[in-house]
Structure formats: structure tokens, C-alpha cells
Structure 1
Amino acid sequence: MAAVTAAMVKELREMTGAGMMDCKKALAATDGDMDAAVDFLREKGLAGAQKKAGRIAAEGIVDVCVSDDAKKAVVLEVNAETDFVAKNEKFRTYVGEVAAQALKTSAGTTEEFLNEKWELDPSLTVAEKLSSMISIIGENMSIRRFAKVEEADGCVVSYIHAGGKIGVLVDVVSDVVNDEIKEMAKNVAMQVAALHPKYTSDKEVDADYLAKEREILLAQIKNDPKEASKPEKVIMGMIEGRIKKELKEICLLDQPYVKAADGKQSVAAYVAEVAKANNAKVSIKGFVRFETGEGLEKKSENFAEEVAKQMSGKMI
């Protein structure tokens, strides 16, 4: 077997744009034959993928996959460079396949997940399949994150908003699981998507966070001469009142239920109402909410300028 040198790896990388480790693997698999190594990379869909790796991938979709018994579910985000590709059926089919595998994976991190075998073609890893799709679709892509929820004593219900812009999982503990309970959970998931709560209930709110909020509110009051002149007991009451109001905004169960007819019923009261109607003991244990591209830098482009660059033969 011919020795694979750094120079050979460098040459193959320059020829194909594939990653360094992929080039090394290709040369090892083809006994150092450069032409065969190029074919190897093309067959794996790896040639050309690396050239796109520097592009910002902040568009894409969020998808979910739920087990048949609704005891386990996963939500994940796969990014691409443009919204156009995010709407492409080939891309969306691929994301669905990734979600189906993520539901079964024992990987605890995205990195571990990328290194496992691609179930639909065990000759590839998940990362290699991703590289293949990058070459096929022609944009940089990334499997950014995933989260799994399992509930043995109830069910997990999902909701996808705006075709994949937002994905939500809601963990429901219940001694009765029927269509009414699942519909309630779906409505709660829609609430999470729309109002973006930070916590399930006020019991989850960190004490340090509350202390900091009280400190900020006190400073605000002291900076207002009219409010600062009030008795300390009144000021403390004002602070607690504002804290309570804020918790109603950031805690799911304390939020006004958006589908309530009078606009006054809380999510907790809605859940209790459905539980009573079904003679069930129900609680919302938690939720996961993914929004496409949140926290990522998005590339801002002038489309006319981009076309002009392409027409003039300049690289973008």
C-alpha cells in the first residue's frame, strides 16, 4: 500500500475542495491513486463541499419527529444559506430523514451525531451524507442542533409553525392520553411558538435572576423622584407587583391563554379545565422551542449587485 503524504492530501484537497480528513481517507482507500481518489470523493458526494463551508448558513428549517406511541420526540434545526433552498423539496426531504435518525440516536451532542453511521447508507457517516447534500444542493448547510424529549408517563406533542420557521415539543405528564389531551398539548405548543416563554412555571426561574430584576427595578424607582418619595413598604410592593407581571410574560403556565374567549384564562387554568373534563391528572412538565437562525449572523446581500458580479465573471 502506497504511503499517503501530506503533499498528496494537499494536492487532492486543492483539486476537489474536499476536507483534509476526507482526502486522506480517499487516498488511503485508493492506494494513493489520485484519479481514483477524486472519483472516490465524487461518489461520496464530498468533492466541492469544503469550498462552500465558509459561507454563512443561517436560513433553513426546524423539523420534528415523534414516535408512534408519542412517548418520544425530537426537534432539530438544519441550516442552509438561502430561504429558497429551505423551501426546496429535496432539502426538506433530507431534513426529515435527519430528524428520523435523530429520534433513534443515542448521541448526546451534535458532534457525536455527525460521527455516527448514516442509517440509510451505512457506508457514510451523518457528516459525510451532509457533505454529499451540500454538493448536490450547491449551498453550505449544517445540522446545527437537536433536542430529544421522552415521557413515559404521558406523551410528547409537537407543533411546526410557518412551514418550519419554529418547532416546539411539549412534554405532558398525564394518566389519560387521548385526542382531547393531545389537542390541549398542541394548543399549548402553539402558545409556546407564538409568545416565546422562557420558563414553564415560576418555579423554574433562577433566584439570581429575580434578585437582579429586583435590583434593577429598585434603581428605576430611585431614579424617579415621584416614586422614590414613597414609603419603603409601598416601594417593595411596587417591585413585587412588577416582578409578578413580568413572570406572567415569561412563564408559560402564567401567561394568558391566547385562545381563551375572554383573554383572562391562564394557560395553567386551561390545562386544568381540560384535565377535569377528561377526569385526568395532567401537568405540563416542560417544552423545547427552536426558531430557525436564532442567534446566527445572517448575510445581507444586494441581489442586483450579486447578479452584476456574476455577469462580470467575478467571484462572490
Structure 2
Amino acid sequence: MSQKISTENIKELRTKTGAGMMDCKKALEASEGKIDLAIENLRKKGLASADKKSTRIATEGLIESYIHAGSRIGVIVELNCETDYVARQPEFHSLAHDIAMQLAACQLVDYVSTNDIPQELVLKERNIENEKDDLSKKPQEIKKQIVEGRIQKRLKELSLMDQAFIKNHEISVEELIKQHISLLGENIKIRRFERFILGEGLERKSDNFTQEVSKMIYNN
């Protein structure tokens, strides 16, 4: 039987480590409520002190590019840190490369985080869900809960920070960033990205050569 973790213990661990509330809760559950062991576990995961640094201004960094095998998908991403010193570190370069690869693999992702998603899009998704047939006979309160759950799931699908890291599905991209904040001692932010897919937006010609010749004959 798992030990019940109090809100006070979670707040205490957060104060001591700067880690996120959910990270603190999970660490306390894993350590059966032992604060010292929970701190050690958070440090091993690179989560301690990450949230405290996450509010600091990051204006240095680099722009990383990645071209996927076959040269049909390309990504450019801007990754920021606080100093030029950290921007030159191999760990920072490796992180930028991993993020670019992640973006190439996750083609549904359009935003860095759910906070960046425009309210117009959220409203559009809510309207779509509200009109679905499977909810038409649900009580209003139940319908509202289902719609909200579906919207949150959809928004996370669009958010880079909420994706499982392609090299380690046990952590999210957000957790990956936090680990590197603790490792390098500076705030790190994914500022923006652009994805290029070969032929995207172009109207593909469907006529084959025989059809083209036939058109030429009948038009003469």
C-alpha cells in the first residue's frame, strides 16, 4: 500500500529543490515520503533547481538545423540559454540537435508549449468537440468534462514540450529541458522552430504522360 503524501511535504521538497510539483510528488511516492531520498532522486534525474532557473532571461544560444535521411524533411530550431559559455558546451549542442530531430519526427507538433496555442484554435477545437454525435445525448455536465478532456489531449498533441522524448520515452521534452537546466546551471528555452517538408503546399500534378498527349491531340 503506497504511503499518502501530504501537500506540506510536497511544498517542502519543492522549496528545497525548485523542482515541479508533480516531480516532487512522484519523488516522494517513490521514496516512501523520505525527503532526503526524494531530493537525491530528483538530483539524479536532473530536476532539482530546474524550475528556479526557468524564470531567468535567456538571450544567448544557437540555431540548430537537422535534415532527415532522404532530404525530404528539414528543421531549424532556436535554443536559448543565458551565456555564450553554455551555448558553446557540447551538451547544449547535443540538446539542440535532439530537439531538432524530435521536431522532424513529430510532424503534428506546431507549437513549443500549450501556452503558445492561440485561443482561436482552442475555441475552434471546442466547437468541433461540442458538435460530435457521440456527445449529443450526454448530460451537459458530463459532456463538458469529456469535451475539456479531449481538448487538453489535442492541445498536448500540438505541443513540443508535452511530447515523449524520442530517445527515452520515459521522459517528456519538458523534462529533458529541465535535466539540462540542472546540468548546465542556466535557464534553457526553446524559442521557435520551423519545419520544412518537401512539396508541402504545392499542388501535385496527377496527369500522366499518356493523358497529356491525349489532351494535346484533341486540342489540335
Matched, 1:138 2:140: no
2:112 alignment counterpart: 110
Deviation at 1:25, TM superposition (A): 2.3
Counterparts of 1:64-83 in structure 2 under 5 Å? 64-83=65-84
1:305 alignment counterpart: none
TM-score by length of structure 1 reads 0.46
Deviation at 1:172, TM superposition (A): 9.6
1:149 alignment counterpart: 196
2:38 alignment counterpart: 37
Q: 8 Å contact 1:151–1:173 — kept in the other structure?
A: no
Matched, 1:127 2:157: no
Q: Which runs of 5+ in 2 are unaligned?
A: 114-158, 206-220
2:7 alignment counterpart: 6
Bigger Cα Rg: 1
Counterparts of 1:79-94 in structure 2 under 5 Å? 79-94=80-95
Where 2:170 maps in the other structure, the secondary structure is coil
Deviation at 1:174, TM superposition (A): 11
Give the aligned CA root-mean-square deviation in angstroms.
2.3
- Structure 1's 172 and 86: CA in aligned 2 closer, same or farther, altered over 3 A? farther
Deviation at 1:110, TM superposition (A): 1.2
Deviation at 1:121, TM superposition (A): 2.1
Aligned counterparts of 1:28 and 1:62: Cα–Cα separation in 2: 39
Where 1:123 maps in the other structure, the secondary structure is strand
Q: 8 Å contact 1:151–1:172 — kept in the other structure?
A: no
Counterparts of 1:160-309 in structure 2 under 5 Å? none
Q: 8 Å contact 1:49–1:134 — kept in the other structure?
A: yes
**1:182-229 Cα distance to aligned partner (Å, 9 max, x none):** xxxxxxxxxxxxxxxxxxxxxxxxxxxxxxxxxxxxxxxxxxxxxxxx
Aligned counterparts of 2:74 and 2:177: Cα–Cα separation in 1: 22
Q: How much identity, in percent, do the aligned residues show?
A: 35
**1:38-67 Cα distance to aligned partner (Å, 9 max, x none):** 122112100111221221011111111112
RCO higher in structure (CA 8 A, sep ≥6): 2
TM-score by length of structure 2 reads 0.65
**1:67-124 Cα distance to aligned partner (Å, 9 max, x none):** 2222111111111001221122221122111111111113222122111111222221
Between structures 1 and 2, the one with greater helix share: 2
**1:119-171 Cα distance to aligned partner (Å, 9 max, x none):** 22222111111111111111111112222121238xxxxxxxxxxxxxxxxx9
Aligned counterparts of 1:122 and 1:29: Cα–Cα separation in 2: 19
Q: Which amino acid aligns with 2:109?
A: A
1:52 alignment counterpart: 53
Deviation at 1:20, TM superposition (A): 1.9
Q: Which runs of 5+ in 1 are unaligned?
A: 154-170, 176-316
Aligned counterparts of 2:203 and 2:57: Cα–Cα separation in 1: 40
Aligned counterparts of 2:172 and 2:42: Cα–Cα separation in 1: 14
1:97 alignment counterpart: 98
